[in-house]
Amino acid sequence: MEVKRNKGVLKRIAGPVVTATNLDAHMYDVVKVGNEKLMGEVIKIKGDNVIIQVYEDTSGIKPGEPVENTGLSLSVELGPGLLTSIYDGIQRPLEVLVEKMGSFIERGVTAPGLSHEKKWEFKPVVKAGDAVKPGTIIGTVQETNIVHKVMIPPRTEGGTIKEIKAGEYTIDDVICVLDNGAEITMMQKWPVRVPRPFTEKLNPDIPLITGLRILDGLFPVAKGGTAAIPGPFGSGKTVTQQSLAKWSDAEIVVYIGCGERGNEMTEVLTEFPELEDPKTGRPLMERTVLIANTSNMPVAAREASVYTGITIAEYFRDMGYDVSLMADSTSRWAEAMREISSRLEEMPGEEGYPAYLAARLSEFYERAGRVNTLNKDFGSITVIGAVSPPGGDFSEPVTQNTLRIVKCFWALDAKLSQRRHFPAINWLNSYSLYLDTLGPYYDEHVSPEWNPLRVWAMEVLQQESELQEIV
């Protein structure tokens, strides 16, 4: 498809936010900024001024440099090769970038999210003459231990298969042709800000077994549920999330390191390939996608990393897999929003955060859920977001707005972590609103006494707290 390209001129630069003029652009178009062609995204249009957030360091660019509109929205490549990958916030594979330029990423460098040279063994599960529609699974690829299911893209018109072929192909090769002329490859592109479609959202009534007894026993989360892990610095948010990524019974894990320490991402990168998946005996990395967007990377890319992660999770959900997505930490994303909002000179809300903070958080968390996919399979995304309130103050806006959205609240306690009690989840402050929907599952698969015993245990812990105040 021929995309209209258009050039404008840089007028103003304020950190990661730049203004261009004489640029024909739409909201959320991807643009190339300056002589180095830095990647940016249109976030505001005011008369002839187009305001762009840049996903790379803007040091050294100056007014008068060109800005080129690609006419495309920020999209990710979805297909075989996602699993075991390590990306930055805009789906550039870090392993490829290391080969190109070493440990430090240079500006203006692009790399496709998936390898376009590698060949994959495609096995059709449908035949010529079969009717297909958007979301229909037409074949499989043995990617790792996980079977990658190749689907008709959601925005493709359905029809009857004219030709489909087995064999080794790259993700760009045509593997299937429909009677309406549509050519299907193993790769599809999807804009990150648009939720992928499904047939129906279902009640989350199956628990995500986390492997942590306090969570499974007292504060369970459902597959397709949402949970928040707020806690002060050093209380074990990252370690808890890493434990959930390692031992929960999700089939696919998407781990987003959003604005946190680089050392923690290094720990994940070194540990995950060595850890064994208890279900398959294979390395844990084979069912994991990592998105590393550390605190020293440009702030604008934090938002992109969150949307990139949830879009990849939705893609695996559409195959019928149970996905768990860890976002560490949503507070850093909110801080990036606050910085960009102040650069845009918008009216600040509470504690300087933008007025649309709650809307952006809900946009993200509402993409979780257990669904009936377009192929009539069942898939789920469980979103677990860490929140880092300054000084452990749970009354600050990010924690409070997250609390309104999520149904599971696992509050971490600095006093427990100082006593080396891990996971440092405070059993008096935490809660789960999934107990009613999960009750029938526990009655059937565990014991009818599960809920009464859980209530009794919570009462004992409550009495202990009351007695501690007296003694």
Q: Per-block average pLDDT, block size 10, for the chain (471 residues)?
A: 68 94 93 94 94 93 95 95 92 87 80 94 95 95 94 93 94 95 94 96 95 94 96 86 88 91 81 81 90 85 93 97 94 93 92 94 96 96 94 91 95 90 92 95 94 95 90 73
Are 255 and 326 in contact by the 8 Å Cβ rule? The answer is yes
Q: Is 422 helix (H, G, I), strand (E, B) or coil?
A: coil
Instruction: Return d(Cα 335, Cα 426) in angstroms, integer.
Output: 26
Which residues have a Cβ under 8 Å from the Cβ of 69 and sit 6 or more positions away? 4, 5, 6, 7, 8, 23, 24, 25, 29, 31, 42
Instruction: Return d(Cα 116, Cα 157) in angstroms, integer.
Output: 25
Helix H or strand E segment including 339: helix 330-343
pLDDT at 460: 96
Q: Is 274 helix (H, G, I), strand (E, B) or coil?
A: coil
pLDDT at 58: 92
Are 190 and 78 in contact by the 8 Å Cβ rule? The answer is yes
**Which residues are registered as beta bridge partners of 292?**
257
Are 10 and 67 in contact by the 8 Å Cβ rule? The answer is yes
pLDDT digits (tens, 9 = 90+) for 108-137: 888 899 999 999 999 999 999 999 999 999
pLDDT at 438: 95
DSSP assignments along 217-237, one per residue: HTS--BTT-EEEEE--TTSSH
Specify the long-range contacts of residues 94-97, CB closer than 8 Å, at least 24 apart.
94/292
How far does CA 273 lie from the centroid of its chain?
20
Instruction: Return d(Cα 142, Cα 146) in angstroms, integer.
Output: 7
- Give the CATH number of domain 200-432; options: 3.40.50.300, 3.40.50.1110, 3.40.640.10, 3.40.1160.10: 3.40.50.300
pLDDT at 1: 42
Q: Do domains 7-73 and 200-432 have the same CATH topology?
A: no
Are 264 and 257 in contact by the 8 Å Cβ rule? The answer is yes
Instruction: Return d(Cα 341, Cα 364) in angstroms, integer.
Output: 18
CATH for the stretch 7-73 = 2.40.30.20
Phi, psi of 39 (to 5 degrees): -80, 130
Residue 77 is given by DSSP the state E
Could you tell me the end-to-end alpha-carbon distance of the chain, in angstroms, rounded to an integer?
Answer: 75
Domain boundaries, the chain: 7-73, 115-186, 200-432
CATH for the stretch 115-186 = 2.40.50.100
Instruction: Return d(Cα 238, Cα 441) in angstroms, integer.
Output: 29
Instruction: Return d(Cα 64, Cα 299) in angstroms, integer.
Output: 24
Residue 425 is given by DSSP the state B
Cα dihedral 323, 324, 328, 331 sign = positive
Whole-model pTM: value is 0.95
Are 94 and 86 in contact by the 8 Å Cβ rule? The answer is yes
pLDDT digits (tens, 9 = 90+) for 172-222: 999 999 999 999 999 999 999 999 999 999 999 999 999 999 999 999 999
pLDDT at 310: 97
